[in-house]
């Protein structure tokens, strides 16, 4: 009899403890940002800068969890199937939400499986060439490619923004160039330095160091306006390709069904972090612009990007292994 009473007391204590935990204001424990790429890359770097500031704002640790694989799809699926409690969020990218759905058979919906928190940053790609080539401008690169059909360009992989930027360049410049996919931006940049390929596009955070160090030569940025990280370089439009515009981006998503109060808290914390001097300085140094859309605005943005990049993928004929 006593054992039953003891069990009853323990059950009551457990229920009270669970109720107390549930009643605690969000967040009551650490929050993790899942990144679909290895540590050290541009997306990882952005997530870590953001997490440091959000830790101060939320009063709980915000940690970065790297889950590379399948161009970010593994990380996206992990978050899409995680509990909708706000403690596991995804650092979504242009690739994961707008390009991959047109290249892979996914186990989640890029829009419906998530709740939008906030667009964190937008950043252009940098067009670079090996320094040993006597090419100092986009018109000179176009002239070189026309004089040398089959000129190679390097990218971080099939279906990546860098790959598709090369295909857009091929179409808008009217040149016959061939794609060489590498396993990541780093290997692609090394291939360019070795002149295995004659040009390539890569995110500014990944490429700017090589350009500043003289190991690669920057020719232009792919955004509609010049980058704060390399204000001396023209945009592709200024360089003569009037219809060329490619902007990569990253933003935070939570699993579908996450309570609105939790999403609102995360949106507020994210936007406050983006506006802080530390994050603003980090973004500017990488040529990124702070994101401005949260909630419904971010969802509309992702829908538009999904449609836009679907057309690019189909026109390019891009395939993945």
The helix or strand, by DSSP H or E, that contains position 315, with its residue range, turns out to be helix 296-316
pLDDT digit string (tens) for 214-232? 999 999 999 999 998 889 9
Same domain, 70 and 135: no
Which residue range is the domain that position 204 belongs to? 124-221
Q: pLDDT averaged over the chain?
A: 91
Burial bucket for residue 11 (CB in 10 Å: 0-12, 13-18, 19+):
exposed
Same domain, 48 and 111: yes
Domain boundary among 157, 186, 221: 221
Same domain, 107 and 144: no
CB atoms within 10 A of CB 4: 8
6-10, 22-26, 57-61, 186-190 — which is least confidently predicted? 6-10
Distance of CA 264 to the CA centre of its chain: 22
pLDDT given at position 83: 98
pLDDT given at position 285: 83
Q: Which residues pair with 126 in a beta bridge?
A: 202, 221
Same domain, 147 and 191: yes
Distance CA 263, CA 197 (A): 45
- 287 within domain boundaries: yes
Same domain, 253 and 175: no
- 270 within domain boundaries: yes
Same domain, 172 and 195: yes
Domain boundary among 221, 237, 261: 221
- 35 within domain boundaries: yes
Same domain, 149 and 298: no
Q: How confident is the model at residue 284 (pLDDT cuts 50, 70, 90)?
A: confident
For the segment 236-246, the average pLDDT, to the nearest whole number, is 95
Domain boundary among 202, 221, 240: 221
- Total domain count, the chain: 2
pLDDT given at position 16: 46
- 238 within domain boundaries: no
pLDDT given at position 263: 97
- Looking up residue 297, the CATH number of its domain turns out to be 3.40.190.150
Burial bucket for residue 190 (CB in 10 Å: 0-12, 13-18, 19+):
middle
Q: How confident is the model at residue 13 (pLDDT cuts 50, 70, 90)?
A: very low
Distance CA 287, CA 289 (A): 7
- Looking up residue 175, the CATH number of its domain turns out to be 3.40.190.10
The CA–CA distances, whole Å, from 80 to 73, 74, 123, 141, 270 equal 10, 10, 25, 43, 20
- 207 within domain boundaries: yes
- 25 within domain boundaries: no
- 113 within domain boundaries: yes
Same domain, 116 and 258: yes
**Rounded to the nearest 5 degrees, what angle is found at the Cα of 211, between the Cα atoms of 199 and 180?**
25
- 1 within domain boundaries: no
Q: Give me the phi and psi of 168, to 5 degrees please.
A: -65, -40
Same domain, 216 and 285: no
Same domain, 115 and 260: yes
Distance CA 85, CA 75 (A): 17
Same domain, 259 and 311: yes
Distance CA 253, CA 293 (A): 12
Distance CA 319, CA 5 (A): 65
Same domain, 159 and 208: yes
Distance CA 27, CA 101 (A): 32
In sequence order, the 6+-apart residues with CB closer than 8 A to the CB of 187 are 156
> By percentage, how much of the chain surpasses pLDDT 70?
93
17-26, 94-103, 262-271 — which is least confidently predicted? 17-26
């Amino acid at each position: 009899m006593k054992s039953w009473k003891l069990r009853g007391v323990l059950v009551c204590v457990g229920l009270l403890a669970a109720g107390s935990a549930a009643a605690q204001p969000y967040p009551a424990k650490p929050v993790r940002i899942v990144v679909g790429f290895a540590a050290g890359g541009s997306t990882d770097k952005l997530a870590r800068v953001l997490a440091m500031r959000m830790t101060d704002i939320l009063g709980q640790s915000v940690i970065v969890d790297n889950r590379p694989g399948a161009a970010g799809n593994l990380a996206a699926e992990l978050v899409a199937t995680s509990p909708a409690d706000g403690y596991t969020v995804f650092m979504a990218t242009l690739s994961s939400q707008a390009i991959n759905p047109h290249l892979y058979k996914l186990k989640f919906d890029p829009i419906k499986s998530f709740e939008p928190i906030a667009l964190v940053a937008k950043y252009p790609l940098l067009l670079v060439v090996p320094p040993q080539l006597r090419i100092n401008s986009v018109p000179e690169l176009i002239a070189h490619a026309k004089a040398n059909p089959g000129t190679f360009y390097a990218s971080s992989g099939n279906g990546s923004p860098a790959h598709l930027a090369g295909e857009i360049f091929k179409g808008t410049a009217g040149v016959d160039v061939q794609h060489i996919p590498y396993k990541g931006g780093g290997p692609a940049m090394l291939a360019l330095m070795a002149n295995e390929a004659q040009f390539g596009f890569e995110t500014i955070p990944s490429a700017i160091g090589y350009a500043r160090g003289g190991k690669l030569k920057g020719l232009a940025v792919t955004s509609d306006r010049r980058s704060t990280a390399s204000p001396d370089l023209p945009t592709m439009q200024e360089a003569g390709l009037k219809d060329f515009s490619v902007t990569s981006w990253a933003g935070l998503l939570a699993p579908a069904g996450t309570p609105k109060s939790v999403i609102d808290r995360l949106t507020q914390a994210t936007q406050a972090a983006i506006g802080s001097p530390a994050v603003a300085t980090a973004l500017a140094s990488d040529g990124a612009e702070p994101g401005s859309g949260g909630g419904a605005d971010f969802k509309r943005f992702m829908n538009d990007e999904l449609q836009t990049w679907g057309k690019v993928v189909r026109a390019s004929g891009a395939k993945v292994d």
